[in-house]
Amino acid sequence: MMQESTTNSSFRLAAWKWAAMIILIFVFIAGWIVPLKPGIIKVTPDRAVAGEMIVVDVVGYNSFYLTDTTKLRAWLRLAGDTVIQAHHIQAWDDRNLAASFYIPSVFPVRQEAYPLTLVLDHGSEGTSILPNAIFITPASEQDTAEMKLWFRDKIEHVHEKAGIQYPFRNILSETIRNTYFHVPMWFCMIILFGVSAWYSLQYYRNGDIDFDRRSVAFIKVGLVFGVLGMVTGMLWAKNTWNAYWSWDVKQNMSAISLLIYAALMVMRSSVEDEMQKARLTAGYNMFAFVLLIPLLFIIPRMTDSLHPGNGGNPALGGEDLDNTMRMVFYPAVIGFILLGLWISQLVYRTDKLKGNL
C-alpha cells in the first residue's frame, strides 16, 4: 500500500496525452460552434417551361434575407457566363424569398431539358448556390431574338461572407461537421493497424512475446475505432441515402477490412500454444496489412462512389475541405490518433499485467 501511494504521487501524464485531450476538446468545441455559411435548401417550382415569366420561392439556410434587402441579387446559370438575372426579388423573411425570372424561349445549346443553377448574392452575407435548382423544358414557340438575353447579364462583384464559417454543401448541410468526428475514426483505425503490423514485424525479428502483446492490443483498439467509423457512417447514411447499408464501395471496403481483423482475433482464440499463436498472428497480420493497402487506397478510387469527398482523392479532396475546415480537420485526425494510441497503450499494459500474473 505504501508503495502504491508513492507511485501515485509521482505520477505524471505524458505530454502527448495532454495534447490529445486539449486537441480533442478544441475539436469538439470548434466542430460544434462554428456556423455554416448561408445556403439554399429548396427552390419551388423545380420545373418550368421556357419562354415564360416564372416566380421561384427560395428557402435558405443560415440566411438573413431581411438585412440589406437591396443587396440581394439572383441569377439562373446555364453554363459559365450564360446567365439570366432576376428582375425582382422580394424577401418575405430571413429564410424565404421570391425571385422572378424571364426564361428565354431559345437556348445557346440544344438539349432535352436544361438544368439551371441558382446563384444568390447577398451583400456582406455572401453567395449561396444551388446546382440544378430548376429544370427547364423547351418552349413550343421559339424566338431567336431572345438569344441575346442569355448574354446580357454577368455574375460579377459577388461577395464572400467574412469571419470563420464552414462551407455549406447541398445534401451534407450540417453533417459536414462529421468530417471531424466520423472521418478521423478511419484514419485512426488505419494508423493503429499499421502500428500493430510494425510490432508484428518486430516480433518476427526478435521473437519477443511482448511485441505480440503490443500488436494485439493495437488491433483490438483499431477494431473498436473501425466499428465506430462504420456505425457513425451508417447513422449518417440512413439519414442521407435512406439506407443503413447501400453497398457503396467505401462501405464495402471498410467492412472487409474489419472482417479481416475479426478473422485474426477468431484465429487467435482457436490456437492453444502461446508461441504458435504469436507466430501465426504476426504472419497473418503483416500479410493482411499489406493486402489492405490496395483495398483501402486504390480500389475505392477506381470505382464510382456517392461518398462525400470522392472524385479521385477520398476525404482530402480540395473541393470538400476549405481552409477553415482544415484548421479543425487536421487537429481532429491527430487528436483521435493520439487518443487511439493512448487507449491501445492502456490495453497493452493491462494485458501485460494479466500475463504476468
Partner 1 sequence: MSIKTILTFLLLMILQTAHAEGESTPDFIRSIGKIYVVAGVCLIILITLFIYMIRLDRKISRIEKRQKNEY
Partner 2 sequence: MNRILNLVATEARIELRERSALSGIVLYVLSSAFIVFSIWKQLPPKEWGLTFWVIFLFCSLMAVLKTFGRESEGRYFYYYTLYHPLELFAAKVIYNLLLLVFIFFVLWFVLFVMAGNPILRIGWFFVTGLMSAIGLSFLLTLITSIAIKTQQNASLTAVMALPLMIPLLINILRLTAYASGTTPDENPWNEMMLLSSIISLVIGMSLWLFPYLWRS
Please provide the distance, in angstroms rounded to a whole number, between the alpha carbons at the two ends of the chain. 18
Amino acid at 143: D
- Under DSSP, is residue 355 helix (H, G, I), strand (E, B) or coil? helix
Q: Tell me the number of residues near partner 2 by CB under 8 A.
A: 28
Choose the stretch contacting partner 1; rule: CB under 8 A; options: 124-132, 138-146, 220-228, 262-270. Answer: 220-228
* Residue 329 host element (H or E): helix 323-356
Name residues contacting partner 1, limited to 233-252 (CB under 8 A): 234-236, 238-240, 244
Does 59 bind partner 1 (CB under 8 A)? Our answer is no
Does 357 bind partner 1 (CB under 8 A)? Our answer is yes
Count CA atoms closer than 13 A to 259's CA, side-chain side: 7
Q: Which residue has the cell 501485460?
A: 352
Among 33, 162, 302, 357, which residue sits at the site for partner 2 (rule: CB under 8 A)?
Answer: 302
d(CA 139, CA 141): 5
The answer, yes or no, to whether the previous bond of 45 is cis (omega within 30 of 0) is: yes
Q: How far is the CB of 283 from partner 2 (least distance, A)?
A: 4
Does 15 bind partner 1 (CB under 8 A)? Our answer is no
d(CA 40, CA 173): 10
Task: Report residue 81 as a C-alpha cell.
Answer: 457566363
Q: How far is the CB of 301 from partner 2 (least distance, A)?
A: 11
Can you count the helices (H) and strands (E) in the chain?
9, 9
Does 42 bind partner 1 (CB under 8 A)? Our answer is no
Question: Could you give the string, one character per residue 171-200, with x where binding to partner 1 holds by CB under 8 A and - elsewhere?
Answer: --xxx-xx--xx--x---------------
Q: Which of 177, 135, 109, 125 is nearest to 46 (CA)?
A: 135
Choose the stretch contacting partner 1; rule: CB under 8 A; options: 75-83, 133-141, 311-319, 347-355. Answer: 347-355
Does 28 bind partner 1 (CB under 8 A)? Our answer is yes
Q: At what angle do helices 323-356 and 209-240 cross, to 10 degrees?
A: 140
Does 290 bind partner 2 (CB under 8 A)? Our answer is yes
Question: Could you give the string, one character per residue 248-287, with x where binding to partner 2 holds by CB under 8 A and - elsewhere?
Answer: --------xx-xx--xx-xx--xxx---x--xx-xxx-xx
d(CA 83, CA 71): 19
d(CA 189, CA 182): 11
* Residue 138 host element (H or E): none
d(CA 166, CA 229): 22
Does 170 bind partner 1 (CB under 8 A)? Our answer is no
Name residues contacting partner 2, limited to 78-97 (CB under 8 A): none
Q: For residue 77, report the phi and psi dihedrals to the nearest 5 degrees.
A: -110, 130
CB nearer to partner 2: pick between 165 and 285: 285
> Which partner in partner 1, partner 2, none is near 264 (CB below 5 to 8 A by kind)?
partner 2
Report the interface residues with partner 2, using CB under 8 A: 204, 256-257, 259-260, 263-264, 266-267, 270-272, 276, 279-280, 282-284, 286-288, 290-291, 294-295, 298-299, 302
What are the residues binding partner 1 (CB under 8 A)?
28, 32, 36, 41, 61-62, 173-175, 177-178, 181-182, 185, 224, 227-228, 231-232, 234-236, 238-240, 244, 339, 343, 346-347, 350, 353-354, 357
